Amino acid sequence: MIRSPFVRGAREAAGIPAAVLVAGFLGFGALAASQKVPLGIAVASTAVIWALPGQLVFVEMHTLAAPLAVTVLAVMLSSARFLPMTLMLMPEMRDPRHRAWKYYLVAQLLSLSGWTMAVARFPQIPREERLPWFYGFTLVLMATSALSTAAGYVGADRLTPGAQLGLVFMVPMYYLLILVGAVRERIAALGLASGALAGPLAYLASPEWSVVLGGLVGGTIAFLALRMWGRHA
Amino acid sequence: MPELWLLLALCGLATYLWRGPGVLIAAGIDPGSATFTWISCVAYAIIAGLVSRMLVMPTGALAETSLLERTACSAVALAAYFWVTRRNLFVGVLAGAAALWLIRS
């Protein structure tokens, strides 16, 4: 029996890749509930922003009552990684048999987990099958994440206060592990260290500007340190 | 909540501004350029700053836990992730969450 590439992609996603996202988005749902963001907004953000750091910035800055333009700027700055990711992946999926709009739509479905898997699997997939395979893979990830957001949100209201705290705590734990796991890269290590220091300090100075301020100051310090480090290496 | 929907739409658009151009431009931007390195430093700093602030000075539900509790549970998650399971993210996150749940109930 020959399965379509779309179905094969979907089946590959329904396992470890989806399970990891369940952990992050359950926590995000619970966090959104505790910060009094409506359920519809929380679930929609998973499809509309589709980047957990950006969604986190969105929810946290809403809580801090940050100005609209500052929130949009912070979300935008937090999502910059998508440009190099699409730049690298799109040429790999191009095939004259697929219509152009399908590529603009698939750009919205791209996420870090989808990208990582695509980079690893594409060499074994014929070029014309890559786009449908990627659609199958990423749609399962997005659907699972949206359901997990709703489950975390609804669950947070029904659990005991202790379990509720555990659920909300999943978000910082998710990123703590991902980020600490990434420190082997020099850019990541410097950006993480100076960002981790600058974030709380900026919060003391100005809560509503803290995300953008801490990111710009911490990121620029990391960037300068990287240049000096590179010169002496 | 129409304002919040508007904000969400703008945030989605702001994210798509990084996604869309990758379809149009096949090549021409060097991911190793100084501008790009700076942008990725800022992106890392934003999420690291947000997470460390959530752990050190949380708002919302986590504000009622103590710094000691949050530190201890973070250590449990890190230990489960790096030593016990050799980088199983799902188990690591669950271990940290379960530890906080156990302490608080």
Rounded CA-CA distance A183/B37 in Å is 16
Which pLDDT does position A159 carry in this prediction? Answer: 87
CB of A161 within 8 Å of any CB in chain B?
Answer: yes
Instruction: Say if residue B87's pLDDT is above 80.
Output: yes
Using one digit for the tens of pLDDT, what is the confidence trace for A171-219?
Answer: 899 889 988 887 877 877 888 899 999 999 999 999 888 888 999 999 9
Most confident residue range from A113-122, B16-25, B72-81, B88-97: B72-81
Which chain B residues touch A61 with a CB distance below 8 Å?
none
From B43's Cα to the closest Cα of chain A, the distance in A is 5
Span B1-13, average pLDDT: 93
| B92 interfacial to chain A (CB closer than 8 Å) | yes
| pLDDT score, position A232 | 59
pLDDT of residue A2: 65
In DSSP notation, A41-100 reads HHHHHHHHT--HHHHHHHHHHHHTT--HHHHHHHHHHHTTTHHHHHHHHHHHH--TTS-T
What three-state secondary structure class fits A135?
A: helix
ipTM metric: 0.89
Do residue A191 and residue B9 have CB atoms under 8 angstroms apart?
Answer: no
- Mean pLDDT, chain A, rounded, equals 90
What pLDDT digit, counting tens, does each position of B28-70 carry?
556 678 887 888 788 888 889 989 999 999 988 899 999 999 9
**pLDDT digits over A91-112, tens only?**
888 888 999 899 999 999 999 8
Q: Which pLDDT belongs to residue B80?
A: 96
Helix (H) or strand (E) holding B98: helix B89-104
Mean pLDDT across A129-154: 96
Nearest CA in chain B to A182: B44
Structure-token pair, residue A70 = 């500052």
pLDDT at A1 over 70: no
Averaged pLDDT of chain B: 89
User: Count of CB contacts below 8 A, A vs B?
Assistant: 307
Cβ <8 Å between A173 and B5: no
Please tell me the predicted confidence (pLDDT) of residue A141.
Answer: 96
| Residue among B33, B50, B90 with most chain A CBs within 10 A, to mutate | B50
Longest dimension (CA), chain B: 56
pLDDT at A76 over 90: yes
Task: Give the residue extent of every domain in chain B.
Answer: 32-63, 65-105
Residue A230 has pLDDT above 60, yes or no: yes
Q: Is B85 on the interface with A (CB under 8 A)?
A: no
Tell me how crowded residue A69 is: count the other CB atoms within 10 A of its CB: 10
Per-residue pLDDT at A204:
94
CA A209/CA A199 separation, integer angstroms? 10
H helical segments located in chain A: 5-13, 16-34, 39-48, 52-63, 68-78, 82-93, 101-109, 112-121, 127-158, 161-181, 186-205, 210-232
